[in-house]
Amino acid sequence: MTNIDPKEKFSRSAVANYDDGEELVVKPGKLNDLAARIAAEYRVDTVSPAMLTGFMRLGEALVLFAIGIAIMIVYVGVNWTPVANGLAWHYLLSSAIGAILTITFFQVLDLYQTNALRRSFRTFPKVLLAWSSTFAILLIGAFFLKISEDFSRVWLASWYIGGVIFLFFERLMLNFCVRRWGRNGIMERRAVIVGGGKPAEKLIRSIEQQADNDIRICGLFDDRDDVRSPPIVAGYPKLGNIEELVEFSRRARISMLIVALPLDAEDRVLAMLKKLWVLPVDIRLSAHSNNLRFRPRTYSYVGNIPMFDIFDRPIRDWDSVAKRAFDIFFSVLGITLLSPIMLGAYLAVKLTSKGPAIFVQERHGFNNEIIRVFKFRSMFVEQQDLSARNAVTKGDPRVTPVGRIIRKTSIDELPQFFNALRGDLSLVGPRPHAVHAQTREKLYGEVVDGYFARHRVKPGVTGWAQINGWRGEIDHDDKIKMRTECDLYYIENWSLMFDLRILFMTPISLFTKSDNAY
């Protein structure tokens, strides 16, 4: 990335009208024009390297296995007597073991690192070594088990050559794709530098000197004024302070925040982290300028630059795939099993009060995004509260007779299975609150310090707080505090088994812990 015009480091369209001498005016809680343009350019998610290499492992294993079986069917199945005598399972088992061993060797030799994919010609000798080692182990195993005579040598040689050809062209194609995706911004890690001055400049220069790094620096933010923190560092303009950084990270799809502050600036680091930990991003503290040196295992690395891991984004990469599959499966199952109840509720609402049966409300979703959540309407149309400023209380005259029943039993929430199927919600997670929800004239975010950290994951149809009795009316600050505490506990301890436990405990909690649901 050397010899690049600083403006090229941002999207061309985002900086087209930016002048190095222009003063960037930042209003509290808002982004200046340049920051807003850059955030808009990074609105689309990138391809995760971890996801790409995961699919690579699976794809290579399946194709290598399929090549072995295909050769057996085409040649061995016709010409080799042991197959006709019921020994075909030898080929199936050997092909499976060979595919698994090869993927294991590739992993050991770091052939699934992004840098290895960019250097397919340089790394192909290692690929060939791994594939050859697999065959050596298979041959040694067959010799000691005295079953080598059960296998066709033509099959063995054909599978080896077929695998070499496949791996060569597959890695060559991936080399082209990875380089292209890196240039186009499809596969990259987007980073924001927190801090300024010499530490930030030194960090940026170190990142840029790594030719094959996948880091794209999207901006720089610092609370200090331009005297102590220059407005431009290593060609990057300062886009705002920490408050603006929170807003920027909500608009753009950022992978990580790198805090470029010395360790002895403890108070500044802690003050920044207190504001930033609510964001669903990795937060790293650069150890690049730190004179202290710890054991290598203490650090993670961005390229060759040591980092301290402060916060990790929860439910990421393959965990997010597993959770999405969980949501789709149980949403379809729930809609199928509960469709008679949903149909009955729909008709009851429609026939007993005027207005639509489905009520749509704006609520906070993942990373504070606004989502539209479905419910069966439980209030009289003329008395609906779209903003949810006035919470429903016991005996609330705004609630219809049918509405009292479906709210008490949470039947009014069943249409949210369709939200989960669409991907707006997860089946299990912190419950989505209305955008202007409040208690005693205070918004929830004003009552609970770190309230928005519950939005680091997708909200859910049900959650840990709900099955512990924290559902329904919030008429006291302690209730939203306890609900948030449960939500944060769920985020920090998430697993599919935890989701399954919450899902199956939800019907029980509806009957045993529904005192606050009106």
| CA 91, 92, 97, 102 torsion-angle sign | positive
- CATH numeric code, 6-15+25-35+187-311: 3.40.50.20
Contacts of 359 (CB under 8 A, 6+ apart): 374, 375, 376, 377, 378, 379, 384
CA distance 51 to 487: 27
Locate 289 and state its tokens.
């300028």
**pTM of the prediction?**
0.78
| CA 348, 350, 355, 356 torsion-angle sign | positive
**Could you tell me the mean pLDDT of each successive run of 10 residues in the chain, 518 residues long?**
37 39 46 88 85 91 94 68 59 91 94 86 93 94 81 88 95 90 82 88 86 82 83 88 89 90 76 86 80 61 81 88 94 94 93 89 89 90 70 77 87 93 94 80 79 91 88 74 91 94 89 62
Q: Can you tell me which residue has the tokens 């720089």?
A: 220
CA distance 326 to 338: 18
Q: Can you tell me which residue has the tokens 């050596």?
A: 136
- Identify the pLDDT of residue 79: 53
CA distance 150 to 93: 13
- Identify the pLDDT of residue 291: 56
The answer to whether the CB of 417 falls within 8 A of the CB of 461 is yes
CA distance 175 to 156: 28
Which residue ranges make up each domain of the chain? 6-15+25-35+187-311, 49-183, 317-512
Helix (H, G, I), strand (E, B) or coil at 293: coil
Amino acid at 239: L
CA distances 469 to 157, 242, 382, 388, 480, Å, are 65, 36, 31, 20, 12
Q: Can you tell me which residue has the tokens 């939203």?
A: 480
- Identify the pLDDT of residue 23: 43
- Identify the pLDDT of residue 111: 92
Q: Can you tell me which residue has the tokens 């290579």?
A: 60
Residue 146 falls in which region: left (phi positive, over 0), alpha (psi -120 to 50) or beta: left
Terminal CA-CA length for the chain: 60
Give the DSSP per-residue string, 215-276.
Answer: EEEEEEE-SS-TTTS-SEETTEEEEE-HHHHHHHHHHS---EEEE---TT-HHHHHHHHHHH
